[in-house]
């Protein structure tokens, strides 16, 4: 088969902002990731993207160290559906953002433009009732009353720190790789967001399997693919989220190769992961059938999709 090549590389999301890379919060170091989705109305394709990027940059520059916002579009899926990844240092940062929306005149002006500009104000740009948010917390062992082996649960920073919990370690702590080999929401070419609903009976086993699969990819594809696991807060209980960060869309082939050619990785999917006294079984018993869904996201860049 022919191997089509291109010299164009999609700019990563961290290129959307003037803030230095080392000052950004990403899916690797944020204590909270809020994914906000919004559907643009027909006729406001360009205006909607300009508004999204302008608002993101305003937050990025005013809230360095507290919040970072990147904008994505669905690679394959619903066209003109915008995805905002709002990376927060902790849940307390949400209150800081609420205060910004209440008191910061520049921010409020961005949302409430002058009368002569209201033809393209944000409330005209997006489909009514279409804004949705999902709150993701980096997964750690023992979270939400689950168990692993009796030791890993007690080895987490959250467990060992006797002080009141004021934040959660970033998902980067799930990956035993040097930072230069880790992809995240800021430097990846594509982000695949996978969701799956756990069966309640296997909520502990399912979390362990989710982390094992992520680790198998991280260990075998350093610098090409990095997977983080998150829990959904303030939403559906026991719904797991994976953010699969790819260097480029063609890195998807590396994932396919890994699961075809690497016998150790393949064995993960055929091993009995559920104890015999609990009925036995592979990973397939851990998740609600039909609940596993992938959405691929491309970092937004100016001129994308002829806008």
Q: Cβ–Cβ contacts within 10 Å for residue 148, how many?
A: 16
Answer yes or no: do 147 and 36 share one domain: no
Q: What is the CATH number of the domain that holds 208?
A: 3.30.70.100
Specify the pLDDT at position 8: 79
Whether 8 maps to a domain, the answer reads no
Answer yes or no: do 56 and 188 share one domain: no
3 φ/ψ sector (left φ>0, alpha ψ -120 to 50, else beta): beta
pLDDT in tens, the chain (307 residues): 555 555 678 999 999 999 999 999 999 999 999 999 999 999 899 999 999 999 999 999 999 999 999 999 999 999 999 999 999 999 999 999 888 888 878 887 777 655 445 556 778 899 999 899 999 999 998 888 787 777 777 777 777 777 888 889 999 999 999 999 999 999 999 999 999 999 999 999 999 999 999 999 999 999 999 999 999 999 999 999 999 999 999 999 999 999 999 999 999 999 999 999 999 999 999 999 999 999 999 999 998 876 7
Q: Of 24, 10, 9, 16, give the one whose Cα is nearest residue 184.
A: 24
Answer yes or no: do 99 and 194 share one domain: no
Q: Of 41, 21, 133, give the one whose Cα is nearest residue 84.
A: 133
Whether 259 maps to a domain, the answer reads yes
Look at the chain and report how many structural domains it folds into: 2
How many Cα atoms sit within 13 Å of 238 on the Cβ side? 17
Look at residue 128 and give its three-state secondary structure: coil
Residue ranges making up the domain that contains 273: 139-299
Specify the pLDDT at position 152: 78
Q: Of 243, 276, 277, 254, give the one whose Cα is nearest residue 170.
A: 243
Specify the pLDDT at position 7: 66
Q: Of 19, 27, 45, give the one whose Cα is nearest residue 302.
A: 45
> Distance between CA atoms of 201 and 69, rounded to whole angstroms?
36
Rg (CA), the chain: 20
Specify the pLDDT at position 149: 74
Whether 6 maps to a domain, the answer reads no
Q: Are 114 and 121 in contact (CB under 8 A)?
A: no
Whether 205 maps to a domain, the answer reads yes
Crossing angle of helices 45-62 and 92-103, in 10° steps, is 110
Final residue before a domain boundary, out of 116, 134, 152 = 134
Final residue before a domain boundary, out of 134, 163, 180 = 134
Answer yes or no: do 127 and 148 share one domain: no
Specify the pLDDT at position 115: 44
> Distance between CA atoms of 100 and 109, rounded to whole angstroms?
12
Answer yes or no: do 66 and 185 share one domain: no
Final residue before a domain boundary, out of 87, 107, 134 = 134
Q: Of 139, 125, 18, give the one whose Cα is nearest residue 68.
A: 18
How many Cα atoms sit within 13 Å of 146 on the Cβ side? 22
Our measurement of the distance from residue 248's CA atom to the centroid of its chain's CA atoms, rounded to an integer in Å, reads 16
Specify the pLDDT at position 89: 97
| pTM assigned to the model | 0.92
Q: Are 113 and 12 in contact (CB under 8 A)?
A: no
Q: Cβ–Cβ contacts within 10 Å for residue 126, how many?
A: 19
Number of H helices, E strands in the chain: 8, 8
């Amino acid at each position: 088969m022919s191997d089509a090549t291109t010299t164009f590389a999609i700019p990563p999301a961290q290129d959307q902002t003037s803030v230095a890379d080392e000052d950004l919060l990403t899916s690797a170091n944020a204590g909270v990731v809020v994914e906000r989705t919004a559907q643009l109305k027909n006729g406001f394709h360009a205006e909607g993207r300009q508004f999204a990027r302008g608002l993101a940059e305003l937050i990025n520059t005013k809230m360095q160290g507290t919040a970072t916002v990147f904008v994505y579009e669905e690679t394959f899926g619903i066209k003109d559906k915008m995805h905002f990844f709002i990376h927060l240092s902790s849940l307390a940062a949400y209150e800081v953002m609420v205060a910004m929306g209440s008191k910061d005149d520049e921010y409020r002006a961005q949302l409430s433009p002058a009368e002569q500009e209201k033809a393209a104000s944000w409330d005209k740009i997006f489909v009514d009732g279409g804004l949705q948010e999902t709150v993701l917390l980096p997964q750690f062992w023992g979270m939400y009353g689950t168990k692993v082996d009796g030791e890993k649960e007690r080895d987490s920073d959250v467990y060992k720190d006797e002080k009141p919990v004021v934040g959660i370690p970033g998902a980067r702590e799930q990956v035993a790789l040097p930072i230069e080999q880790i992809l995240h929401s800021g430097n990846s070419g594509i982000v695949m967001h996978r969701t799956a609903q756990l069966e309640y009976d296997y909520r502990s086993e399912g979390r362990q399997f989710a982390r094992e699969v992520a680790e198998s990819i991280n260990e075998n594809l350093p610098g090409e693919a990095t997977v983080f696991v998150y829990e959904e807060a303030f939403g559906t209980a026991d719904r797991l989220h994976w953010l699969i960060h790819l260097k480029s869309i063609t890195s998807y082939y590396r994932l396919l190769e890994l699961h075809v050619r690497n016998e150790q990785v393949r064995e993960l999917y055929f091993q009995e992961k559920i104890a015999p006294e609990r009925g036995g079984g592979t990973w397939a018993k851990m998740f609600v059938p039909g609940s596993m869904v992938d959405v691929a996201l491309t970092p937004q860049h100016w001129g994308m999709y002829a806008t």
